Amino acid sequence: MKKKTEDLLNQLVNQLESKEDFDKVREQLLKRGVEALLLAEMSAHLGYSSGDQPVADNLRNGFSEKTIKTATGNQRIKVPRDRQGSFDPVIVPKHKSMSQELEDCVLLLYAKGMSNADIIDFLEQTYKVKYSTSQVSIITNQMMKDIKVWQTRPLQDQYAVVWIDAIHYKIRHEGKVISKAAMIVLGIDLEGKQDILSIYIVENESATAWATILDDLKTRGVTDILFLCSDNLTGLQKSVEAIFPKSVHQICIVHQIRNCLKFVSYKDRRKIIQAIKLIYKADNESMARQAFEDFKEEWNHKYPLAVKSWENNWEHLTAFLAYPSEIRKLIYTTNIIESFNASLRKFTKNKRVFPTDDAALKSIYLAAMQIEKKWKKTRYGWPQIYNQLAIYFENRIL
């Protein structure tokens, strides 16, 4: 039943077209949230989690059903029972209807991922109920089950484009606060549907990390990626060649320009930008090469590192020039995933330091779900793009 509910929810999200559709999905989210909190309260009440060794005589004893009143109408939920009948849930009090404030609390816990202290303070101020830190930890940790299911869900066989980008967060690790990368993977399948494929927390942006991420995509069913787009990430190209050898790896032109300008004095930047524009605005790779040679001849004596940054990555910087304009616009930059990451930061910016990787993952995941409507959609103008892909990859389109 749980699997069927999850499948139904995923289908509803994919087909959102109106406020009514959104309300239906919201009701499902509320139901799942309330039931998850009830399970967490039962674990706190008994003193052990489901599946663990009981620490007392009182045990779980199935479920009863209860109808709760919400802002959108009545909702039927399952309430866990204990053998001694001593379980008195806070989230859905016995003989009382669910208030709007309590409904908002559930959505807050599921959509915001606040700290334990914030949640305790909110519950105490709103409902005059004080949860212990351990109880709140049990409640918020219930979300990790949903996250793990989401992280391991099957993916499409083939993706037209996959973007990889990182957001860095401060996370405690072995008694120290260090910077770790939350690697966001966004993809567009051959139907033009855009989706976040996964989120990974890694300590170092390395070839090993990229190989793990790409291998995970393959394990979950991805057999081919036409274009893989990223910043100039150390070691990524080797991982792409090892795991998805047919993929075209495009390095973001915007990132390349920024990196290039790091080696250029401010007074020369305008001239450098104009010269670079002739490279990436060229009609084809041959014309781009000529523009680069002109750029090299004029500036190599003064800014050899800027020139070298183009020379070292030429193949992956100019890969997009082999395709028509619609495909070029799609792959030459990682702006699409950077826009998503910027939205994530609005929800996670108040978190200066996360206590664990899981705490960071919960916050990022919940923020992603909060802005889901902005990124989970069908790409505009996809039929024309697909027809072009079918021409350039006629032997690979499944």
Q: What is the 3-state secondary structure (H, E, C) of 306-365?
A: HHHHHHHCHHHHCHHHHCCHHHHHHHCCCHHHHHHHHHHHHHHCCCCCECCHHHHHHHHH
Amino acid at the residue 246: K
pLDDT at 16: 58
Rounded to a whole number of angstroms, the distance between the first and last alpha carbons of the chain is 32
pLDDT at 103: 47
Which string of b and e fits 163-173 if b means at least 16 CB within 10 Å? Answer: bbbbbebebbe
| Strand partners of residue 165 | 184
| Strand partners of residue 158 | 224
Please report, in tens digits, the pLDDT of each residue of the chain (398 residues total): 455 555 554 655 566 566 566 666 667 777 777 787 788 778 878 877 777 777 677 888 888 888 776 666 677 888 888 888 888 776 666 655 544 454 456 545 544 556 667 767 766 766 566 666 666 666 666 678 888 899 999 999 999 999 998 888 999 988 899 999 899 999 999 999 999 999 999 888 888 888 999 999 999 999 999 999 998 877 788 889 899 999 999 999 998 999 889 889 999 999 999 999 999 999 999 999 999 999 999 999 999 999 999 998 999 999 999 999 999 999 998 888 888 888 888 777 767 788 889 888 888 887 888 788 778 888 889 999 999 999 999 888 86
Q: For the chain, how big is the Rg over CA atoms in Å? A: 25
Burial class of residue 54 in the structure, from the number of CB atoms within 10 Å of its CB (0-12 exposed, 13-18 middle, 19+ buried): exposed
Task: Give the pTM.
Answer: 0.70
Amino acid at the residue 261: L
**Distance from C-alpha of 354 to C-alpha of 369, rounded to nearest angstrom:** 19
**Tokens 């290039």 — which residue?**
260
Phi and psi angles of residue 185, each rounded to the nearest 5 degrees, phi first: -115, 115
189 contacts 376 by C-beta, under 8 angstroms? no
Cα 22 to chain center, whole Å?
Answer: 20
